Every structure is written in structure tokens, then in C-alpha cells.
Structure 1
């Protein structure tokens, strides 16, 4: 699918799983995150296991400086990034009106502003080279009325769907990967009791990533891993919004 992949939020969860699966396919990696120690640990393991080149780029994407560092790496024509994976993200516990507006704006930045800035930078090089892939980690929450988390994911789904149509003819595929509940640190960091979610709704990170990569390689604009979530997303389009919102508020 690609040779050099830049992954944001690569310290854990789906970001780390993307790194593992792509390393196993022989891709070189640029791992982006805030935790230098964890990034270096992951990079060392991947180099040893797969004999690939792994760069570590420590950057706080909440800041202009951190984002500019990643843009500079994407702009480096001498070391082209052929796939960008916008994976960094998190959920908020408090409802919108109870959450500080600064917290909401940081959340908006990570999920919408930063992916747009990095996609814009990546597209410049990809268009020059005549091809590439961009994967944006979205969520089935983007198909539901689910607070600002659902709103930011709906935005990135819409952007990805459009960009895939717009730039597909130039050999550049843009895919929004939309998982549901996944066994990662995501919900633990939100202090969500995983026992409150039915066991059948949980997905494994390796399955989500494998299907997301497969759908991206096939040029799909939207990837919804697993049949169960494809069905739930379809139901959400037609069910009364108040009912959908009641069941969606905890999801990724």
C-alpha cells in the first residue's frame, strides 16, 4: 500500500496498532506523539521485529509549534511521506455546557483543525508525486447526535468522503475509518466503565486496523469495521434522533 507512513497519536491504542501492522508489511514509519519515552520504546520494538526505519517525532498537536513540526516533516520532499494517518484524538467526559470552552476548543483542534492542516500539507507532496493515502480516524459517533465528539467526527467523515472523490482521480485516496467501541486505552482515559457496554459491541484493535487498511487500499472514502457497526450506522440514519442519541453518548 505504501512505503513511508506518518502516524499521529502513535504511542498507544489504534495508532500503535497501525504502526505494528504497517511495519509487518515493510513500511517505514514516522511516529508522532507527546510521550517521548513511549514513542522510543515502540520504535525500538518495531525496528527489531521488522528491520524497518522508524523515526520518532515528539510533538504536542495542541500547539501551533507542535503542528508546524509535523507539517515540516510532511513538506520534506527528500523524505516523502506516502501515507498520512491522522489518528490522534480523545473523548470528553463532561457535556458541552458543563465543559470549559477552552477544553472544547482544544478538542475541536485535535479532531478537525489538525487533521485538516496535516492533510493539506500531505496533499501538496502527494499531488506532485501523483499518489498517496490519507487515513482519518473517525467514529460511528459521527453518524449520530452525540455531542461535540459526534460533531467533530461527522466533520472529518464529510471531509474524507469529499476529498476521496476530489483527489481520487489523481491517485490519492482519503479514507475515514469509523470504529465503534474498541479495546484500547481510549475509554479507560475517559474513566468509562467498560462493563456498561454490552460485550458484543466491543471490537479488537487489530481487526479495526486490518479492515481500515484494506478499505483504504481499495480506495473507499468511508470504512466502518465490522458488520455489526455497518448495521448500526445504517439504523442511525433512519431512527429518531432522540433514540439514537440515548444509545450513542458513550461511544468512540
Structure 2
């Protein structure tokens, strides 16, 4: 059984890397000297980011334009992970379907499930066996505080993030002794635009990405960025579920009713 040791990753694949927290992951990893594979749907922003990182940090950057909800395109990224392994996989790509579940098209919910759950599982399954075989590596799965409590107005999104948390913690227990780190990152409200004004409930994307990378390097199973959300975590775990549902329901009624 290997002792948990801090790992510095020399290569990483980041999904959803064209903007927001994904771009922050890419910049922070490049600053730490990691060669990168950047995956997202839009090639333009990816190529622009790649040029920036190569010029600024002198790392190797590969761009893969792929919609991970497309099974064939996701399979290409899986093959890339198996053929040319990376030391860190960052499953950051995700999407939600905000609004009342019954009032939204089924396709919106299914697309979120395909990206947040199915693609994440497929890429993890492609990367993890090699990491276990080498006795080294990390998987950082971006979940959400929404996965820790009832989420009316985001029912399918919250459910996908609950899956990501349970999946990540289970994998952590399976492979930690093999020298592989698996971490679920659970941010709360996060500004994806650096120019947004500060707010006590909102986190900065760079701080969220840094917290996740520090956690997976250290081998922690769960990372909750921000003092305000860390303080809320014990309550979410200890408050009886009926009370949580009632509180979440009241908030949703106020939002849905415009109050």
C-alpha cells in the first residue's frame, strides 16, 4: 500500500477548456510546467488559449475540438487518452438545464446527463487503468455544491453533480492505495468572467481552479472552495433531509414566483 504523497503533474487533459474555470485550469497547469491537451467544442477560443500558453509558459499544448455529447467525438478523446496517456485528467466540461424540470424540453436534460455523467465516466474509464498500472496519476472531476442538497430549478443538473461526487469518492477509495488521486471539486456560485464585481457568495474562477488542483495533487477526495461554502458543508451533511427539502422548496417558490 502506497502512502499518499503530493503529486506534481507533468501533463494534463482538460475538458471544457475554452473559457471559464476550464481556461483557469489550463493557465494554472501551464504555469506549473504541465504540457496540455485542451478539449472543447469551439476550436477558435481553444487555439487562442493554446497560443497564449505556449508563448507565455513554453509548454506543449494540443487542441482537440470535440463535442463530448457526440458519442463518436467522445470516443476519439478516449482513444487519445489510451494511446498517449496524461498524468492528470480534469473533467471540467458541464452544462445545466435551469428551470422547472417539467417545463423544459427533455433533450435539454438528456444533454446535460450525457455531458456531466456519461462523458465524464467514459473519459475516466479511458484514463484510470493506465494511471493505476503506472502507480501515479490524478483525476479531478468538477462537481458542484448543487450535488450536496436538493436543487429545485436545477433538478437534473444537481442530480448529475451528486453522481459525480459519489462516483469520485468511490473511485478515491478504490485507487488511493495504488498511488492514484481522484478528487471531486464542489464549487458554489462562481464568476466565469474576471470583470464581475465582488460578491460575498460568489467565487473567482482562478481561486476555484487552484483549490481543485491543490486538492488533487494532495490526494484529497473532496474540495469545497471558499470559506463561506466550507462553513455550509457541515450543515448540509447534518441537517435532516426533510428540512433541507423544505428550505430549498421555499427558495424555489420565491424564485419561481418572482418574490
**Is TM (by shorter chain) over 0.5?**
yes
What pairs with 1:174-189 in structure 2 (closer than 5 Å)? Answer: 174-184=182-192
Retained in 2: the 8 A contact 1:144–1:245?
no
Of residues 44, 51, 67 in structure 2, which corresponds to 1:60?
67
Q: Which residue of 1 aligns with 2:110?
A: 105
Q: Secondary structure at the match of 2:181?
A: strand
Q: Secondary structure at the match of 1:206?
A: helix
Distance 1:25 1:150 in 2: 32
Q: Which residue of 2 aligns with 1:32?
A: 39
Deviation, 1:71, is 0.1
Matched residue count: 238
The two structures, once aligned, show a CA RMSD in angstroms of 1.8
Shift in alpha-carbon separation, 1:244–1:232, aligned structure 2, 3 A: farther
Gaps of 5+ in 1: 186-193
If you compute each CA radius of gyration, which structure gives the higher value, 1 or 2? 2
Shift in alpha-carbon separation, 1:70–1:245, aligned structure 2, 3 A: farther
Of residues 19, 40, 43 in structure 1, which corresponds to 2:26?
19
Gaps of 5+ in 2: 1-7
Q: Which residue of 2 aligns with 1:243?
A: 247
Task: List, as ranges, runs of 4+ consecutive aligned residues in structure 1 with deviation greater than 6 Å.
Answer: none
Q: Which residue of 1 aligns with 2:56?
A: 49
Retained in 1: the 8 A contact 2:96–2:109?
no
Q: Which residue of 2 aligns with 1:171?
A: 179
Name which of structure 1's ranges 211-220 and 241-250 shifts more when overlaid on structure 2.
241-250
Retained in 2: the 8 A contact 1:144–1:248?
no
Shift in alpha-carbon separation, 1:225–1:68, aligned structure 2, 3 A: same
* TM-score normalised by L of structure 1: 0.90
What pairs with 1:1-252 in structure 2 (closer than 5 Å)? Answer: 1-76=8-83, 79-146=84-151, 147-184=155-192, 199-237=199-237, 238=239, 240-241=243-244, 242-247=246-251
Deviation, 1:138, is 0.4
